[in-house]
């Protein structure tokens, strides 16, 4: 099966420590395939092809299209919100900054950050469900959270996102707690140009500070 991969972006790493395992992963734009040093060129080619196909299949499963995302949202609304949340559009967005998503209740549009694409399905489901719930409750009050209690992985997903945000801050050499001010929702990104007055911009900062 021909791969759609750009092979110039594939780096083969031969390892003497590797005996019978082949691994592949993404590092930014590049794809790394680690193979045992004893592999022949033919074996290498065969396994690179195989691992790239496997990676792509995994990513397809984890990265639904806009159409699939909208269908997913409808399904989630039916299952957990009694079908009461009916968005006009649900789309992936690249301009969400540190937000996981945003919702504009006045026109029923929902945007989900590209950063969530590729996260486990149950995390994506939570983010979509969170934004759907804003169609019913604009703020993060008790009635908002009460709606989300029916989704069994709410607490776990919030923990996942909190850990992800924490980890994302670490490589910049900042001590763990120092980045927290950026997540209060009052940071510069809150004034971004495309923000409309009634939009709910979600960084899910409540996961760091609680509801109080």
Comparing CA positions, the residue from 31, 36, 26 lying closest to residue 10 is: 31
User: If we measure between CA atoms, which residue out of 189, 123, 188 comes closest to residue 154?
Assistant: 123
CB 58 within 8 A of CB 142: no
Question: Smallest gap, in angstroms, from Cβ of residue 13 to Zn ion?
Answer: 42
Q: Six-digit token pair at 134? A: 């804003």
Q: How far is the CB of 144 from Zn ion (least distance, A)?
A: 7
Write down the least CB distance from residue 145 to Zn ion, Å.
10
Comparing CB distances to Zn ion, the nearer of 182 and 202 is: 202
Question: Shortest approach of Zn ion to residue 84 CB, angstroms?
Answer: 17
Give the residue with the Cβ less far from Zn ion, 5 or 189: 189
Q: In the complex with Zn ion, which residue's Cβ is closer, 10 or 136?
A: 136
User: By C-beta, is 9 or 86 nearer to Zn ion?
Assistant: 86
CB 198 within 8 A of CB 155: no
Per the DSSP assignment, residues forming a β-bridge with 113 are: 93
Applying CB under 5 A, the residues found at the interface with Zn ion are: 202
């Amino acid at each position: 099966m021909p791969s759609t991969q750009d092979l110039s972006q594939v780096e083969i790493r031969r390892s003497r420590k590797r005996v019978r395992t082949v691994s592949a992963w993404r590092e930014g734009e590049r794809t790394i395939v680690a193979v045992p040093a004893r592999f022949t060129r033919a074996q290498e080619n065969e396994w690179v092809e195989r691992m790239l196909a496997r990676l792509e299949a995994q990513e397809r499963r984890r990265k639904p299209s806009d159409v699939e995302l909208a269908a997913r949202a409808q399904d989630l609304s039916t299952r957990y919100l009694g079908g009461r949340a009916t968005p006009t559009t649900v789309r992936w967005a690249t301009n969400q900054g540190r937000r996981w998503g945003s919702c504009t209740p006045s026109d029923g549009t929902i945007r989900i950050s590209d950063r969530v694409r590729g996260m486990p399905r149950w995390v994506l489901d939570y983010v979509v469900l969170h934004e759907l719930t804003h169609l019913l409750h604009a703020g993060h009050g008790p009635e908002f959270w009460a709606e989300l209690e029916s989704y069994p992985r709410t607490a776990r997903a919030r923990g996942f996102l909190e850990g992800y945000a924490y980890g994302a801050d670490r490589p910049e050499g900042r001590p763990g707690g120092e980045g927290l001010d950026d997540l209060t929702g009052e940071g510069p990104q809150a004034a971004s140009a495309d923000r409309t007055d009634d939009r709910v911009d979600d960084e899910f900062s409540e996961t760091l500070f609680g509801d109080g």
